[in-house]
Amino acid sequence: EAPRYVGLEETSAAPAASRAGARYLVSWHVACYSRAVFGPGGGAGVGRRTILVIHGPNLNLLGTREPDLYGRTTLAEIDAGLVALGRDLGVEVDTFQSNHEGVIVDRIQQAGTSPDRPAAIVINPAAYTHTSVAIRDALAGVGIPTIEIHLSNVHRREPFRRRSYVS
């Protein structure tokens, strides 16, 4: 089965992304995807289930970079919340961040060939959303169900941000 790519930030069921709600929005996507992939009980009772969360460039600066747009929540705080949510859902959450396109491609390919292959990928490709055919091709190549997320509504920002090569 081919991977499905869904930009959830524009669905009517997704909560509005706000400066204070960035951590909630990411957690909401992981929780919804966990339920979609593993059923209503999350991963409980179905063996080892992992969601790989990939953060793209500059997300390591969350908390200090443009706080009026992205808030003051740090990436470490988001990751800790995702791991805790995964624990509550019976799902292991593995997080990864890189500022380098090739390193992100390598991590996606590694996930696709690993004996501990994740059941799903949640990715915020950040600026690479609008430029990276390589990340898109890597995701398509590994065949792991993928959700693209963002901390801000890209459709309400500059026109160049409205096109995603990833989804």
Tokens coding 92: 């292991």
pTM of the predicted model over 0.85:
no
Tokens coding 17: 């992304």
Catalytic residue among 33, 55, 128, 150: 150
What digits encode the pLDDT tens for the residues 57-91? 999 999 998 888 778 889 999 999 999 999 998 89
Amino acid at 57: P
Active site residue 150: yes
* Spatial distance between the Cα atoms of 150 and 9, rounded to a whole number of angstroms: 7
* Spatial distance between the Cα atoms of 81 and 68, rounded to a whole number of angstroms: 21
Residues contacting residue 5 through CB under 8 Å, at least 6 positions apart? 139, 146, 147, 148, 166, 167
pLDDT mean over 106-123: 94
Reported confidence tier of residue 94, pLDDT bands at 50, 70, 90: very high
Furthest-apart CA pair in the chain: how many Å? 45
Tokens coding 7: 């930009």
Tokens coding 46: 């179905």
Active site residue 100: no
Catalytic residue among 29, 33, 55, 70: 70
What digits encode the pLDDT tens for the residues 6-57? 333 333 343 444 434 444 455 555 666 555 555 555 544 444 489 999 999 9
